[in-house]
Amino acid sequence: MAFEIEQIGFAFAGRWAVEQVSLTLPPGRFYGIVGPNGCGKTTLVDLLCRYRTPQVGGIRYNGRELEGYSKKQLAREIALVPQNFYINFPFSVREVVMMGRYPYIPRFSGPSPRDAQIVAEVMGSADIGHMAGRLVTELSGGERQRVVFAQALAQQTPVLILDEATSNLDIGHAIRLLGLARRQVLLEGRTVVGVFQDINQAAAWCDHLIFMLRGRIAAQGPTRDVLNPDAIRAVFAVEARVYHDDYANALQVVFKK
């Protein structure tokens, strides 16, 4: 099991952001977390990558308590693409992507030829190779997001966590990067956990959907089983129709205005 989450809870100032959440996530799948604003999606993701620690319950990763891993070990297991990303200092794009190799490069050593090669490859994948020398402070929001995406890929971890990682991307780059993540799930057995605002994007890429509402799990299971009008009504309070779209080759949702 990649993650075994048992009855975790996390509260901000006395209000539960995540409450009584239990989940078992086997490896080699693409998981999508969906739900209304403020339902605890990002907090759950923060708990998975140990940026926050659950106040009750526990998370096991590969059979071991998440708490038992050192930060460095964990950085070789789990990579994160965050929702927002600002940087105040004028690092070049290549320098920022190279930071993804930090868990592998010993202190006081420079990057090895292999590190340089990996960085060049992921910059190609994220379509930022042509801006390697530009400064991140001078990029647009979408370009910056591709840079952090490349950085997370450079970490070469078995688990990739995407917290609305394509929210600022144009549709071409979004499809390209999510497709890349999808291929890594299928071909390399990677585990991807993504938070999505766009339920159709989640439906198109994810094997498994987790619906959250007010910090709890409202429904979860294989996409074809749980993505239905009842679940969408229960979580988002909108009327919807779900159908299999042959062109997208995926379940898609249309909403009533």
Contacts with other proteins, residue ranges (CB under 8 A): 46, 49-51, 71-72, 74-76, 78-80, 82, 85-92, 95-96, 99-100, 102-103, 107, 133, 135, 137-138, 148, 155
3-state per-residue secondary structure call for the chain: CCEEEEEEEEEECCEEEEEEEEEEECCCCEEEEECCCCCCHHHHHHHHCCCCCCCEEEEEECCEEHHHCCHHHHHCCEEEECCCCCCCCCCEHHHHHHHHHHHHCCCCCCCCHHHHHHHHHHHHHCCCHHHCCCEHHHCCHHHHHHHHHHHHHHCCCCEEEEECCCCCCCHHHHHHHHHHHHHHHHHHCCEEEEECCCHHHHHHHCCEEEEEECCEEEEEEEHHHHCCHHHHHHHHCCCEEEEEECCCCEEEEEECC
The two tokens of residue 172 are 């071409």
**In this complex, which beta carbon is closest to other proteins, that of residue 82 or of residue 215?**
82
Q: In this complex, which beta carbon is closest to other proteins, that of residue 4 or of residue 95?
A: 95
What's the closest the beta carbon of residue 82 comes to other proteins, in angstroms?
6
- Tell me whether residue 24 or residue 137 sits nearer to other proteins (CB atom): 137
Q: How near is the Cβ of 192 to other proteins at its closest, in Å?
A: 15
Among residues 96 and 204, whose Cβ is nearest to other proteins? Answer: 96
Minimum CB separation from other proteins for residue 97, in Å?
A: 11
Q: What are phi and psi of 211, to 5 degrees?
A: -90, 125
> Closest approach of Cβ 155 to other proteins, in Å?
7
Residue with tokens 């229960």: 234
Contact 83, 30 (CB under 8 A): no
The distance of closest approach from Cβ of residue 208 to other proteins in the complex, given in angstroms and rounded to an integer, is 22
Q: How far is the CB of 254 from other proteins (least distance, A)?
A: 35
Distance CA 179, CA 171 (A): 12
CB-nearer residue toward other proteins: 82 or 203: 82
The least distance separating other proteins from the CB of residue 185, rounded to whole angstroms, comes to 19
Cα–chain-centroid distance for residue 94? 22
